[in-house]
Structure 1
Amino acid sequence: MDGQNKEEQLTLEESFAELDRLVERLEDRDIPLEESFSLYKRGMDLLTSCKEKIDTVEKKMLQITEDGEINEF
């Protein structure tokens, strides 16, 4: 399973929790440079996945009609 599939399987809450852990680790002054780059990339991948999920939800919300019916896009 590649990294993108892993991000797609995480809920937004799980992604945010992992992002919090990544930020905490990146704030550690003793983190090796290579590890910090790896963690940064993982964080950016998670952010991209979260943005895509949120965009999808927003598009679905915009498709709700005045009668309360949802029109899928």
Structure 2
Amino acid sequence: MAKKKFSIDEGFSQLDDILKNLEQEDIKLADAVELYTKGVSTLKECKDSLDQVEKELIILEQNGENNE
């Protein structure tokens, strides 16, 4: 099965859910560590996605300047 393409909107939603769960007073340490690990991974995917968009915008801007 092919890996689903990462959606930054879904990533931010997942991070929001993770934060809500981590803020619970009765969370077990093992669960908190698991959520934290998932959050770090999701945050990296969001950053990578934003970096890619930034690179694409720079290329588009450069192409626009070359066509003037």
Give the shorter-chain TM-score range.
0.7 to 0.9
Q: How many residues align?
A: 63
Q: Which amino acid aligns with 1:12?
A: I
* Structure with bigger gyration radius: 2
Which structure would you say has the larger RCO, counting Cα contacts within 8 Å and 6 or more residues apart?
Answer: 2
Gaps of 5+ in 2: none
For each residue in 1:2-51, what CA deviation from the matched residue of structure 2 results, as whole angstroms up to 9, or x when unmatched? xxx56xx3311111111101000000010000000000000000000010
Moved over 2 A (4+): none
The structure with more helix, counted as a fraction of residues? 2
Give 5+ residue unaligned stretches, structure 1.
69-73
Q: Please report the RMSD computed on the Cα atoms of aligned residues, expressed in angstroms.
A: 1.8
TM-score (norm 1): 0.77
TM-score, length-scaled by structure 2: 0.82
> Identity across aligned pairs (percent)?
35
Partner of 1:30: 26
